[in-house]
Amino acid sequence: MTNLDSLTLVAYQISYFSLQLLLVILLLIFGTVVAFPVLLAR
């Protein structure tokens, strides 16, 4: 039971980390898309 609990905890941490990573990547893409026309307009 404790082995299963630790496995679940590890899986939760991995999914949480991947969610944060996905959010950062989306923010980078969004920032690039927004900043690109601004840089071209100058």
| Residues whose CB falls within 8 Å of the CB of residue 16, separated by 6 or more in sequence, listed in order | none
Q: Where do the domains of the chain lie?
A: 1-42
For the segment 1-42, what is each residue's pLDDT rounded down to a tens digit?
578 899 999 999 999 999 999 999 999 999 999 998 888 888
Q: For residue 11, what is the DSSP state?
A: H
Residue with tokens 């496995």: 7
Token pair for 3: 């082995």
d(CA 14, CA 34): 30
d(CA 32, CA 42): 15
What is the pLDDT at residue 1?
57
Report if pTM > 0.75.
no
